Chains A and B, each alone.
Chain A
Amino acid sequence: MNPGKIFKDGLLTNNPVLVQLLGMCSTMAITTSLFNGLGMGLSVTVILCCCNVCISLLRKLIPSTVRIAVYVVIIAGFVTIVDLLLQAFLPALSESLGVFIPLIVVNCIIIGRAEAFASRHSVGEALLDGLAQGLGYTAVLVIMSVVRELLGSGSFGAGVFNGGKGWQLFPAGYACSYLTLPFGGFMTLGCLIALVQFLRSKKGEAEK
């Protein structure tokens, strides 16, 4: 498989969230600000790359009857490492993502890629796939969190840009604060997936 196709798959045609509809919980729960979205996306990307490489290396040794259990243990190991690293070096991020960092263990994207890709391809391809799928996930999180942060509290990039303060584009009083609540998570993702379905049907028509 050529690298270009793997990347196109991960970012667009087979995006983990928008097309495969995996990893919904974290996508909706933590995208209240760009800081959270970017942090979560990059953490998952790192874990996904490590797990894919590790599982691809071991793919001939793991007996197929217990493979899911082995995958879960490998994933839980890497998640624990990332969790401890974040607690040590980025306590603010670790604090605001809370229980959703350890919950990456049960994120379907990682076990899904292990089963569907890493267990059948070489190490290099598995690493690229992990990177591509992780960046695809990160891209969705970034889009959602920018929309929700901007419309929900009127700011952009708080905690990331401008020395951690971000920019207040309009006063928070005029913002629709409902978008930062759980309701906004469901709505934003619903509209985003609808947009993708719309674009795909347009493309399908154009090809006919």
Chain B
Amino acid sequence: MLTKLISISLSAILVENFIFSKFLGICPFLGVSKKMDTALCMGLAVTFVMTLASAVCWGVNLLLVRLELAYMQTLAFILVIASLVQFVELFLRKKSPALYRSLGIYLPLITTNCAVLGVVLLNVQESYGFLESVVYGITGGLGFLLAITLFSGVRERLDYSAEVPECFEGFPIALITAGLIALAFMGFSGLKMV
């Protein structure tokens, strides 16, 4: 069991990183990665929501299967995620107004982050149990955190020191940077827990 959990974690963080190999959560990854500290906050918030969503949706899915409503999965999951995000938003506004302000518009946008819905759907697809789902949620989120932090570090430097051809300025060069990081992450693909 422990081996399986470790193997899930390794695969979610490095080998099959949500950003660089599964292409889930690209919008916030490109949108919020201009500064390192906001990127870090975003990563942490996403990790938190992904963990909660994996845990809650595991229960919801059990209920749906029992009621023979499995075809309502997508609809049920997105509603659960939307209310979770709302809940996190209320909680943060009350407990940590500073963090709440720094995340700003990106907090409600976590609802439409495909990494969150993605992790929940993948949990169902792989028929993970409760513990496995939660571990996959946490480590998938950590993978996202790692990716967005690394990328924002590169991007901060890119703004100051790189000479980019005019037509590649802004978005295209960011995509190409991300592509190169993805290439580096492919180096992990030999990593396997036996």
B179 in contact with A183 (CB, 8 Å) = yes
Residues of A within 8 A of B168 (CB): 190, 194, 197
- Taking a contact as CB atoms under 8 Å apart, the answer to whether B171 and A21 are in contact is yes
- CB-based nearest A residue for B179: A186
Tell me, in angstroms, the Cα distance from A63 to B180 when the chains sit together. Answer: 46
How big is the B interface, by class?
A: 35 or more
Expressed in whole angstroms, the minimum distance between the Cβ of B106 and any Cβ of chain A is 13
Q: B167 to A195, Cβ gap below 8 A? A: yes
Q: Are B167 and A194 in contact (CB under 8 A)?
A: yes
Residue of chain B at shortest CB distance from A76 = B75
Interface residues of B in 22-57 (CB under 8 A from A): 22-27, 30
The number of A-B residue pairs with CB atoms under 8 Å apart is 117
Task: List A residues 15-72 near B (Cβ within 8 Å).
Answer: 21-22, 24-26, 28-29, 69, 72
Q: How far does the Cβ of A152 sit from chain B's closest Cβ, in whole Å?
A: 14
**Number of A interface residues, CB 8 Å?**
42
**Bound Cα distance A135, B154 (Å):** 35
Interface members, chain B 119-175 (any A CB < 8 Å): 121-122, 125, 165-175
Tell whether A169 is near chain B: CB-to-CB under 8 Å: no
Given A25-B114, A106-B78, A186-B176, residue A197 in contact with residue B22 (CB < 8 A): no
Which residues of B does A touch, CB under 8 Å?
Answer: 20-27, 30, 71-75, 78-79, 82, 111-114, 117-118, 121-122, 125, 165-176, 178-180, 182-183, 186
